[in-house]
Amino acid sequence: MARHLLTHPTSAPRSTPIDPLAQGTQPRIAVIGGSLTGCTTALPLLDAGFHKVAIYEAAPDAAPREGGLIGLEHPALDVLDRLGIDQREFVAYDSETVWQVTVRARQHIHTTRQAYPGRNTTWTLLHHALTSRLPDGVLHTGRRLTDLGTRHGQPLLAFHDGSREVADLVVFADGRASTGRRLLDPSRRLRYAGYVAHRGHAPTPEAALRDFLRLEPGLGCQYNVAPVPGGLDWTFYLTCTPVDYTRHFGAPPERRLFALPQHVSAAARAHVDAHATRLLPAPHAATVHATAVRMAVPVMDIDPPTRMAWPVGSGWAVLLGDALAPVRPHTARGANNGIEQAAGLTAALTQHRRFGADLQAALRGWQHRHLPTAVAAVHQGPAIGARLGLGAPARSPQPRSSST
Ligand SMILES: Cc1cc2nc3c(=O)[nH]c(=O)nc-3n(C[C@H](O)[C@H](O)[C@H](O)COP(=O)(O)OP(=O)(O)OC[C@H]3O[C@@H](n4cnc5c(N)ncnc54)[C@H](O)[C@@H]3O)c2cc1C
């Protein structure tokens, strides 16, 4: 009989737990979410000798899942390197240069060059590099997890189609709208930060740009653009009230966490085009105007996490990546955090399984190493937003005490 987790969301581990991940056994590891964090969890676990790894991804196989530019720092690049993924497979332009440009009255007035400690990829290139390495039968698409309970003391996953799976360890890598976070850490809710990352891919293959360009045309906006295969990827941050967001994208920000091309109304296009005309130098405004396919992401905040691992019956559940702590995009830390946390989790689980390290201590050590970085990124976002004059003045995230 399944027991609903919500009745005992943080029940203490048994004093002598049955150890499902014990030396020599093959634990069943269920990864919820098959995006960047989910795949970079599954691949190193498989490499480390965990054979019973399954990824459950809500999106159907056929769903178009385009994603934009992502900067990865050296630790995340190193994780991918150790997976044997050649950097040239997912880095199309190997520039480390970021041009920071102050713009006034649509003219560049000051430019500084910075070196980024990493490389730019795109979600699409990286996701393809990761999923193409998953052995057959690991990725299960069209499987939306809806609940987590226990059966005979073991974690039990329930899916939208009524199917169920038993696991020993549940890794929630299910992104900003995480079901895992809602079940395990329900008091942490997303809050709209008052501005939107409008995004587009402009098909301008003749573009001469090789570096990342960040334009700051004054308070209340920021424009980033960089080359990607087949054109330019741009992000235009603009302040937007919740009412206008709903008018532009058909639902409030808390409900429409990703506005896909079909959600972008004519009013939203006109709003972005008008700001580009008024604020950006002419070539950049032209890039925006020429972009047919647009998307948008409302920028959200959340209270910082205080833990990453929860006992569930005789097993465990963990949160990582955006499921743990979605952070504002201009921190450029979301994917980095997820990849670093995934690699750290593999190390902790491998020490437990191969050398008998205490599992709870191993997970506590993993949390101890990765939680501060996640918390720092949660705090960094509102500070950057305030410097840029974007959105509503931030409510300070509430510090809470930590535990495992
Ligand atoms: C404009 C912009 C720029 C960014 N730039 C950077 C950057 O430069 N550097 C950086 O590090 N990060 C950056 N980020 C953040 C980065 O894109 C995210 O942090 C990262 O993609 C999160 O990956 P994830 O796998 O944790 O979550 P997601 O990519 O959101 O994946 C979650 C997956 O879980 C699936 N899912 C959800 N619910 C369920 C369920 N119930 N059951 C099964 N599956 C489910 C979803 O379908 C999805 O595939 C940027 C973000 C934006 C919007």
Write out pLDDT tens, residues 110-135.
999 999 999 999 999 999 999 999 99
What is the number of other CB atoms lying within 10 angstroms of the CB of residue 41?
Answer: 28
Residue 2 pLDDT grade (very low, low, confident, very high; cuts 50, 70, 90): very low
Q: What is the CA radius of gyration of the chain?
A: 22
Residue 67 pLDDT grade (very low, low, confident, very high; cuts 50, 70, 90): confident
Q: Which residues pair with 273 in a beta bridge?
A: none
Question: Which of 31, 36, 330 best tests ligand 1's pocket when mutated (most atoms within 8 Å of CB)?
Answer: 36
pLDDT attached to residue 83: 97
pLDDT attached to residue 179: 98
Ligand 1 atom at minimum distance from 144 CA: 42
263 DSSP assignment: G
Gap from CA of 176 to ligand 1 centroid (Å): 7
Mean pLDDT of 374-398: 85
CATH numbers and ranges of domains, the chain: 3-58+142-189+303-387 (3.50.50.60), 95-117+191-301 (3.30.9.60)
Q: Cβ(185)–Cβ(148) under 8 Å?
A: no
pLDDT attached to residue 392: 72
Q: Which residues pair with 158 in a beta bridge?
A: 147, 164
Ligand 1 atom at minimum distance from 323 CA: 26
Greater confidence, 140 or 14?
140
Gap from CA of 374 to ligand 1 centroid (Å): 14
Residues 335, 66, 55, 7: what is their CA dihedral angle, to the nearest 10 degrees? 70
pLDDT attached to residue 208: 84
Ligand 1 atom at minimum distance from 37 CA: 25
Average pLDDT, the chain: 91
Of 149, 185, 179, 150, residue with least CA distance to 56 = 179
pLDDT attached to residue 62: 67
Ligand 1 atom at minimum distance from 76 CA: 11
Mean pLDDT of 3-23: 44
Q: Among the listed ranges 154-163, 197-206, 272-281, which one has the minimum average pLDDT value? A: 197-206
Ligand 1 atom at minimum distance from 174 CA: 34
Residue-wise pLDDT for 322-336, tens only, equals 999 999 999 999 999
Q: Which residues pair with 202 in a beta bridge?
A: 232
Gap from CA of 358 to ligand 1 centroid (Å): 31
Q: Residue 262 and residue 249: Cα distance in Å, rounded?
A: 9
Mean pLDDT of 296-321: 97
Residue 18 pLDDT grade (very low, low, confident, very high; cuts 50, 70, 90): very low
28 DSSP assignment: -
Gap from CA of 307 to ligand 1 centroid (Å): 20
Instruction: Check pLDDT > 60 for residue 402.
Output: no
Considering only CA atoms, which residue is closest to atom 51 of ligand 1?
A: 329
Gap from CA of 404 to ligand 1 centroid (Å): 25
Please report which helix (H) or strand (E) contains residue 295, including its range: strand 294-301
Q: Which residues pair with 166 in a beta bridge?
A: 156
pLDDT attached to residue 14: 39
What is the number of other CB atoms lying within 10 angstroms of the CB of residue 345?
Answer: 25
Instruction: Check pLDDT > 80 for residue 400.
Output: no
Tell me what percent of the residues of the chain surpass a pLDDT of 70.
89
Q: Residue 64 and residue 378: Cα distance in Å, rounded?
A: 29
User: Percent helix, strand and coil across the chain, each rounded to 5?
Assistant: 35, 30, 40
Q: Give the residue carrying structure tokens 């939306």.
A: 144
Question: Which of 322, 328, 378, 380 best tests ligand 1's pocket when mutated (most atoms within 8 Å of CB)?
Answer: 322
Residue-wise pLDDT for 120-178, tens only, equals 999 999 999 999 999 999 999 999 999 999 999 999 999 999 999 999 999 999 999 99
Instruction: Check pLDDT > 90 for residue 348.
Output: yes
Residue 15 pLDDT grade (very low, low, confident, very high; cuts 50, 70, 90): very low
pLDDT attached to residue 206: 65
Residue 404 pLDDT grade (very low, low, confident, very high; cuts 50, 70, 90): very low
Question: Which of 123, 157, 174 best tests ligand 1's pocket when mutated (most atoms within 8 Å of CB)?
Answer: 174
What residue ranges line ligand 1, CB within 6 angstroms?
Answer: 32-38, 56-59, 68, 70-71, 144-145, 173-176, 179, 197, 199, 235, 297, 321-322, 329, 332-336, 338
Instruction: Check pLDDT > 70 for residue 45.
Output: yes
Considering only CA atoms, which residue is closest to atom 15 of ligand 1?
A: 334
Tokens of 248: 């532009």
pLDDT attached to residue 205: 62
pLDDT attached to residue 25: 73
pLDDT attached to residue 61: 85
| Beta-strand pair 164-166/97-104 | unpaired
Of 36, 82, 78, residue with least CA distance to 55 = 36
Ligand 1 atom at minimum distance from 320 CA: 26
Q: Which residues pair with 154 in a beta bridge?
A: 151
Ligand 1 atom at minimum distance from 333 CA: 11
Gap from CA of 174 to ligand 1 centroid (Å): 8
